[in-house]
């Protein structure tokens, strides 16, 4: 076994522990690519999945479960996307424990809880809690460590890795494609550690990348940024379209707190800039970015947050420490943890002065680097200047936990992407289909209490429409939506025949992407895509025929139901 295959194999079998032992594996965006010319090899499978995030993993599970062979690539050395390499605990709806997501997603969540029960010294009270939340973070009912997600997902995929149905290529990035008319022939990927190039050939291709990278490479028609009110008739759409107007992205980080310790080091290179930075947004931001006040997403008025790493609740304000806390030390036997561990994905480290979509690679990397500087600056500000309840400033005992993120610099392996390229789809989900206020205007007797019913529903989901400040200076756009369905038409490109999306690249608008972009919905999309590929192959029909022919659609929806997918809300 050569070194490249050994690294991939050990990382999959041993999870993060194996990865940590390999000094050549560096965090993405921190590692140089070796420049060497190598011959292109070729690998074949029924399905090629580019991107190992939530949608990619769900699609791989569904394909393999239904007898197809799969090659899945991942740009970093961790599968899991936003729940792992991006460090974002699951954003979910309030009914998630009982319904509103595929059975396979609930299995993932249950396995996360079992992982803690089987491997961690939990207190008896925590162990017996049916809906164990390791961090008790307020953002989710299951706030947990990124590396646990990697281990659980690897375990779920392991039977197919063992039988050879699945092969995962870590540290591989999409570089090129060969297309014949409306079909993809192969996709070329490069190993970003060695420079080796490999052509991946298959019958079907799934774009589960974080930014929709296959779309421009394959000539698939797509949309970026904001559509205009003229284009979509959406209540919250702007008057003019702007393809470069995308939501902020965030480089998240993990930290804990050591009382009595002084962990302060030199300030980040750009600290003076970010310390004084006042966002230029419309409507205006509340003041400086590095502050505990921000623009309330619903009202856009100034709203004060709190911060206390000792975990205490604060009178009348949200304690940001508890918001995305992934380890609550009180859930574990005394002495296991010195303190809690919390993830920072806050308004204060959203990066909106630059864009990641449809920009040159150098600009992409420059903006990620600057976003890391913002996050490092926020951390330094928390250590040295953040106001304390006792009237002092700064919490000098705060400590970056790069080991939690699997990196040396303390930051997540990959930026948290909220918006990607979106396919020009057979059907596009508009605000009138899912937005509560817009539904009241178009639904008459329904009075905005139900989302649109899609005859071709292949899944369900829910989240409020939540658009963060944008790269062109829009402040928050945040308003209620309704529990919605995922239409098959939104998963079908208008022209390309053997490409399907499985991330934030489906047929939504800039507005409706705001509620279709979260963890369980991305998983639901991947599950539906994997089953669609298997169904179409079995029936020997094109993807579009499944939507166009009622008998096929009925059979496909029956298959979804049999494999644990809900297509209607109760």
Alpha carbons within 13 angstroms on the beta-carbon side of residue 99 total 9
- Cα 567 to Cα 494: distance, rounded to the nearest angstrom: 23
d(CA 75, CA 173): 5
Q: What is the mean pLDDT of residues 68-79?
A: 98
CA proximity to 186, closest of 218, 219, 140: 218
Tell me what the mean pLDDT of segment 409-435 comes to: 97
Nearest one of 167, 164, 184 to 176, comparing CA atoms? 184
Given this model, what pLDDT does residue 6 score?
Answer: 33
The answer to whether residue 7 scores a pLDDT higher than 60 is: no
Q: Rounded distance, CA 171 to CA 12, Å?
A: 12
Given a cut of 70, whether residue 336 has pLDDT beyond it is yes
Cβ neighbours for 149, distance < 8 A, ≥ 6 positions apart: 80, 83, 84, 112
SS3 305: coil
CA–CA dist 147, 152 (Å, integer)? 9
**Strand ranges of the sheet holding 204-207, from the earlier edge strand across to the other edge:** 166-169, 70-73, 47-50, 204-207, 499-501
Q: What are phi and psi of 71, to 5 degrees?
A: -115, 125
CB 404 within 8 A of CB 254: yes
pLDDT value, residue 19? 29
State the greatest distance between any 2 C-alpha atoms of the chain, in Å, as a whole number: 70
Identify the CATH homologous superfamily for domain 3-89+144-218.
FAD/NAD(P)-binding domain (3.50.50.60)
Measure the CA–CA gap between 84 and 324, rounded to whole angstroms: 14
The pLDDT score that the predictor gives to residue 450 is 87
DSSP 390-411: TS-B--TTEEE-HHHHT-SSSB
For residue 8, is pLDDT > 80? no
Instruction: Give residue 326's pLDDT.
Output: 98
Confidence at residue 312, expressed as pLDDT on a 0 to 100 scale:
83
Per-residue model confidence as pLDDT tens digits over 296-310:
999 999 999 999 999
Tell me if residue 13 falls in helix, strand or coil.
helix
Please give the average per-residue pLDDT across 310-314, as a whole number: 84
By C-alpha distance, which of 13, 89, 24 is closest to 405?
89
283 prior amide bond cis, ω within 30? yes
Residue 418: per-residue pLDDT: 97
Question: What mean pLDDT, rounded, does the chain reach?
Answer: 92
Query: How high is the pLDDT of residue 34?
Result: 43
pLDDT of the residue at 446: 56
So what's the pLDDT on residue 316?
Answer: 87
pLDDT band, very low/low/confident/very high, at 504 (cuts 50, 70, 90): very high
Distance CA 393, CA 400 (A): 19
| pLDDT at site 565 | 98
Task: Please say if the pLDDT value at position 503 is more than 50.
Answer: yes
DSSP codes of every residue in 208-260? --SS-THHHHHT--EE-SBPPHHHH--TT--SS-BTT--B-EE--EEEEE-TT
- What is the distance, to the nearest Å, from the Cα of residue 151 to the centroid of all Cα atoms in its chain? 17
Q: What is the band of 447 on the pLDDT scale with cuts at 50, 70, 90?
A: low
Boundaries of every domain in the chain: 3-89+144-218, 222-246+418-562, 249-405
pLDDT at 38: 58
Rounded to whole angstroms, how far apart are CA atoms 534 and 538? 6
Tell me how crowded residue 291 is: count the other CB atoms within 10 A of its CB.
Answer: 20
Collapsing DSSP states into helix, strand and coil, what is residue 264? coil
pLDDT over threshold 90, residue 373: yes
How far apart CA 262 and CA 264 sit, in angstroms, is: 6
pLDDT digits (tens, 9 = 90+) for 26-54: 333 333 444 444 557 899 999 999 999 99
Note whether 192 and 75 are within 8 A (CB). Answer: yes
């Amino acid at each position: 076994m050569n070194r490249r295959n050994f690294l991939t194999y050990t990382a999959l079998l041993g999870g993060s522990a194996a990865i940590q032992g390999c000094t050549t594996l560096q965090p993405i965006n921190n590692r140089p690519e070796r420049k060497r010319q190598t011959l292109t090899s070729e690998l074949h499978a029924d399905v090629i999945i580019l991107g190992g995030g939530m949608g990619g993993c769900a699609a791989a599970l569904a394909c393999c479960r239904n007898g197809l062979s799969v090659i899945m690539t991942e740009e970093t050395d961790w599968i899991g996307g936003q729940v792992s390499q991006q460090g974002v605990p699951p954003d979910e709806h309030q009914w998630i424990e009982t319904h509103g997501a595929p059975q396979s997603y609930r299995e993932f969540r249950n396995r996360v809880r079992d992982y803690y029960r089987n491997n961690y010294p939990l207190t008896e009270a925590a162990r017996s809690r049916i809906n164990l939340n390791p961090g008790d973070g307020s953002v989710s009912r299951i706030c947990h460590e990124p590396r646990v997600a990697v281990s659980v997902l690897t375990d779920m995929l392991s039977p197919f890795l063992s039988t050879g149905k699945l092969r995962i290529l870590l540290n591989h990035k999409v570089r090129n494609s060969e297309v014949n008319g409306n079909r993809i022939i192969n996709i070329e990927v490069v190993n970003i550690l060695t420079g080796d190039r490999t052509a991946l050939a298959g019958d079907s291709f799934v774009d589960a990348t974080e930014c929709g990278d296959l779309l421009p490479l394959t000539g698939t028609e797509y949309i970026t940024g904001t559509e205009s009110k003229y284009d979509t008739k959406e209540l919250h759409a702007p008057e003019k379209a702007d393809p470069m107007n995308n939501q902020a992205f965030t480089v998240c980080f993990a930290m804990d707190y050591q009382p009595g310790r002084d962990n302060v080091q030199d300030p980040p290179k750009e600290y003076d800039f970010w310390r004084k930075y006042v966002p230029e947004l419309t409507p205006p931001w509340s003041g400086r970015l590095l502050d505990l006040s921000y623009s309330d997403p619903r009202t856009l008025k100034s709203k004060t947050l709190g911060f206390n790493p000792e975990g205490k609740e604060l009178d009348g304000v949200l304690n940001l420490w508890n918001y995305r806390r992934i380890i609550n030390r009180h859930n574990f036997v005394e002495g296991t943890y010195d303190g809690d561990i919390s993830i920072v994905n806050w308004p204060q480290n959203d990066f909106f002065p630059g864009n990641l979509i449809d920009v040159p690679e150098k600009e992409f990397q420059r903006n990620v680097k600057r976003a890391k500087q913002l996050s490092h600056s926020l951390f330094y500000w928390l250590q040295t200047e953040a106001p304390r309840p006792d009237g002092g400033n700064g919490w000098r005992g705060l400590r970056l936990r790069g080991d939690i993120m699997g990196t040396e610099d303390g930051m997540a392996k990959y930026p948290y992407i909220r918006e990607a390229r979106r396919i020009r789809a057979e059907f596009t989900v508009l605000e009138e289909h899912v937005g509560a206020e817009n539904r009241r205007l178009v639904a008459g007797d329904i009075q905005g209490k139900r989302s649109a019913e899609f005859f071709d529903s292949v899944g369900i989901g829910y989240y409020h429409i939540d658009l963060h400040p944008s790269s062109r200076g829009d402040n928050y756009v945040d308003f209620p939506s309704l529990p919605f369905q995922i239409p098959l038409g939104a998963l079908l490109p208008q022209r390309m025949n053997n490409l399907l999306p499985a991330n934030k690249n489906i047929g939504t608008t800039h507005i409706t992407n705001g509620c279709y972009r979260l963890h369980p919905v991305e998983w639901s999309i991947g599950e539906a895509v994997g089953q669609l590929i298997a169904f179409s192959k079995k029936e020997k029909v094109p993807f579009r025929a499944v939507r166009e022919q009622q008998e096929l659609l009925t059979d496909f929806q029956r298959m979804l139901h049999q494999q644990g997918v809900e297509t209607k809300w109760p």
